Chain A
Amino acid sequence: MTAPDVLITAGIDVGSSSIKTVVFQDRGPSGHRMLAGLAERLRRRDPLDVATETFEKALSAAGIARGDVDYIATTGEGENVPFRTGHFYGMTTHARGGLFLDPAVRAVVDIGALHTRAVLMDDRAKVLGYRMTSQCASGSGQFLENICRYLGVTIDEIGPLSLEADAPESCSSICAVLAETDVINMVSRGVSIPNILRGIHDSMAGRYVKLATAAGANGVVLVTGGLSRDAGLLAAMRDANRDLDIRTHEHAVLAGAIGAALWGGYRARRLREKGLSLTGGAA
């Protein structure tokens, strides 16, 4: 049991390649504390099964009973999670999660497996504007995963390898199909893997910083989502626009789930003020 003024909230971010779950202790104005956070790859499993499994694991890691959760917030593709209390949209949650991770942030670039979006916000995490990539796969982590397979490297290796580049090879910035053809040509011409990867990172980075500036970003920008762990991509983004202060955070991959949990706490308090209780989600 928790004190009445302390809430327990959970955030579940259902992505197209992985599910991120966090559990938070929400003390309102006194602050928030992350009790547990984890990310689980889908690996062709049913997203609802994985969401349930990661939620249970996160509760267990946090030492919280399911019945003590005051609000279960979903985001991403989580509208169908049956035990949710409420759902928030990706740009809303990444903005809130970004602000929690770095209070100086006023824009977030969320780079996921299928989409990238740049979100401009104020100091309360209110979304002021956004830009999103089209459905083309060249703006996505999925594209990078395909390239990894062609080159025979793991996704975790691409960042460090990219940083070793000495003569990056330029790559199509328009189309994933053309870019993949470029990569095959580079391999046959004997271009080194670091130079190929940095060329790809430069291509993607150019699109992301344009997206951010088109959304109105200036100053501190936090990169969130699955590719926030890619040091090579971050370096390429910093080189692509030196006016922006591009940052990330060790929990940036969890930003959506964190934002969902925090907004969930806010909503739980608002509903309590109105005398409403949505206990179904935590039952």
Chain B
Amino acid sequence: MIKDKIERKVVIPGEVIVKGEDYLPGEGAEKKGDEIITTRYGLAEESNKLIKVIALSGIYQPRRGNIIIGKVENITFYGWVIDIDCPEGAFLPLQEVPKYVNKDRLNDILDIEDMIVAKIIGVTNRGIDLTIKSRGLGKIDEGIIIKINSNRVPRVIGKEGSMINLIKKESDCNVTVGQNGLIWIKGNKIDDELLVKKAIMFVSEKSFTSGLTDEVKKWFEKEKKKTMEKSE
């Protein structure tokens, strides 16, 4: 007899999610004997006997290849120290900038308090190494930067970008989502940028609801109606 798939449920640390020899623990869970036990507060999900817990809170875990947004904190001889809202420090070395850098004029390229979109090229115990060499990376010129919990980022992006593309289309804005939870919004009008901010906060707060894409479509319709009514 095929057992029913385990339903998604909220689990707390120490809670037994399921009992059974053939289940395997994924992220946020561990195996003790024949029990899969929660190690992080979140939503337990099963896929093919792999039980993982989707965290809804907690700090960002940096991974190689992640696109992130950060702020220049300090300038040294060899590059820029970047704050990516993560306890491990991040660093952008001179060599990872796609133009010639005069060693005495680093601040001409990037100055303290500048915001950048960068890619993580390495995570070691010394810290996180960044690059801005590829397309789409570099200094952020204007717009607004907002912050959400990094665990909500997958929902804001959606399956194959479905959610973020919907938001971009409905608002006519450029949106770059950093895996660390910082998001850059740039549009032609501030009103549009704020609409994106509102939409992202909406999605972020409802990360665990299903059918969210449809809800968001309806939400945009409502918001646009509200704005039209206001201006009449």
Do A and B come together as binding partners? no
